[in-house]
């Protein structure tokens, strides 16, 4: 039985990340009819990018998302874009939280932000699903989460007004070029350059199998499950990187975080979601199940797997770059440079299967 204990909880607001509650409250009451009283404000600890707060009013349970303080590049934390994507998607994909209001006036909080309705459920983080399940139920949960990804990839972008969200065909090649450039800018002396990996990705980049709405960060810990029936997905969170692109790239991104029970000790040490539980699909089974549901037969699957691992390496290196240069002192990032060596090795192992 998988243990309970991974609930969608918020806690005390972190020092230096306090919210101007009075300003938010005044602004919100002008946007939401019947919003009375004062909110109890707490903060979510999950995620390493935007700051996310719970605003619990007597009659409304809300969530506020804003960029971190000092953000320079709006494109990296575009709250307006994230709000509009979710608002457009919700009629066709009801697993998007209900959007409440968006504020682009920096006079309120010092940055743009948006507010949505909180979805009450459990988020599978760490070592558990948040509720007790047996292996059969865990497998059903896994299938349900993948089914929602299939549902998303079958949304017609034009039907929801998102046809201009992406840049058209050539998504795979653009992503390889973009992440290669990001890695070069974040490189430090003590990590590999991934030269063979990036060259291999450029040489093997396939044509897009389709162009659809992709989440770009689809993981178990961005899913809210119904505690009464964990096979029922209530919501999908964190749409910051959503765009139009190749659905197999979305799946490759997801599997970079998918740590199996039988993986080596290094891979197990970086696991952040309960993909190791009895009943969970293995990575190969995930690909088989998803492609079966989508009617796809990818001829180049190792490309998507290597791409996902390299993209994860770039994300980890961008975090480590900040630690290396003293921009953050979080000790959790101290050994990320070792992870870079491991991820280059993992990429090499997959590349051998393709040649």
- Catalogue all structural domains in the chain, each as residue range(s) with its CATH number: 21-117 (3.30.200.20), 135-354 (3.90.1200.10)
Rounded distance between C-alpha atoms, residue 147 and residue 293, angstroms: 8
CA angle 297/299/300 to nearest 5° reads 125
95 to 136, 137, 221, 314: CA distances (angstroms) = 24, 21, 15, 29
pTM above 0.85, yes or no: yes
What's the pLDDT at 67? 87
Burial category of 240 from C-beta neighbours within 10 Å (exposed 0-12, middle 13-18, buried 19 and up): buried
Sheet containing strand 61-66, strands side by side: 40-43, 51-56, 61-66, 113-117, 99-103
| Residue among 6, 250, 254, 285 at smallest CA distance from 139 | 285
pLDDT tens string, the chain, 355 residues long: the values are 444 434 567 888 888 889 999 999 999 999 999 999 999 999 987 555 688 999 999 999 999 999 877 544 445 578 999 999 999 999 999 999 999 999 999 999 999 999 999 999 999 988 889 888 899 999 999 999 999 999 999 999 999 999 999 999 999 999 999 999 999 999 999 999 999 999 999 999 999 999 999 999 999 999 999 999 999 999 999 999 999 999 999 999 999 999 999 999 999 998 999 999 999 999 999 999 999 999 998 888 999 999 999 999 999 999 899 899 998 787 888 999 999 999 999 999 999 986 5
**186 contacts 314 by C-beta, under 8 angstroms:** yes
Q: Report the interhelical angle of 336-354 vs 301-324 (nearest 10°).
A: 170
**43 contacts 30 by C-beta, under 8 angstroms:** no
The DSSP line for 88-149 is HHTTT-TTSPPEEEEE--HHHHSS-EEEEEPP-SB---TT--BS-B-HHHHHHHHHHHHHHH
Query: Within a 13 Å sphere around the CA of 12, how many CA atoms are in the beta-carbon half?
Result: 3
234 to 94, 115, 131, 230, 342: CA distances (angstroms) = 9, 18, 14, 9, 35
Rounded distance between C-alpha atoms, residue 154 and residue 164, angstroms: 17
What's the pLDDT at 2? 45
**126 contacts 6 by C-beta, under 8 angstroms:** yes
């Amino acid at each position: 039985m998988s243990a309970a204990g991974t609930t969608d909880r918020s806690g005390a607001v972190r020092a230096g990340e306090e919210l101007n509650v009075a300003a938010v409250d005044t602004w919100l009451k002008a946007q939401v009819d019947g919003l009375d009283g004062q909110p109890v404000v707490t903060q979510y600890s999950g995620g390493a990018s935007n700051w996310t707060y719970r605003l619990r009013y007597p009659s409304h349970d809300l969530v506020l998302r804003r960029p971190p303080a000092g953000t320079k590049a709006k494109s990296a934390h575009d709250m307006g874009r994230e709000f509009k994507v979710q608002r457009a998607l919700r009629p066709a994909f009801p697993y998007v939280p209900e959007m409440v209001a968006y504020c682009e006036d920096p006079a309120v909080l010092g940055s743009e932000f948006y507010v949505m309705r909180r979805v009450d459920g459990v988020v599978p983080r760490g070592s558990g699903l948040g509720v007790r399940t047996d292996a059969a139920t865990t497998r059903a949960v896994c299938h349900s989460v993948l089914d929602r990804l299939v549902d998303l990839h079958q949304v017609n972008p034009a039907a929801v007004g998102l046809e201009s969200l992406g840049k058209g065909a050539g998504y795979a090649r653009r992503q390889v070029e973009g992440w290669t450039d990001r890695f070069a800018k974040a490189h430090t002396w003590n990590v590999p350059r991934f030269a063979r990996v990036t060259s291999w990705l450029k040489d093997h980049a396939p044509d897009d199998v389709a162009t659809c709405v992709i989440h770009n960060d689809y993981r178990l810990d961005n899913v809210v499950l119904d505690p009464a029936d964990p096979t029922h997905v209530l919501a999908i969170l964190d749409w910051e990187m959503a765009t139009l692109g190749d659905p197999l790239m979305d799946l490759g991104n997801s599997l970079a975080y998918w740590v199996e029970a039988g993986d080596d000790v290094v891979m197990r040490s970086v696991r952040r979601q309960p993909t190791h539980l009895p009943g969970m699909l293995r990575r190969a089974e995930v690909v088989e199940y998803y492609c079966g549901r989508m009617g796809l037969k990818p001829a180049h699957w190792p490309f998507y797997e290597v791409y996902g691992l390299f993209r994860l390496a770039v994300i980890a290196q961008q975090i480590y770059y900040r630690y290396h240069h003293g921009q953050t002192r979080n000790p959790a990032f101290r050994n990320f440079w070792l992870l870079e060596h491991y991820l280059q090795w993992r990429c090499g192992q997959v590349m051998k299967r393709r040649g």
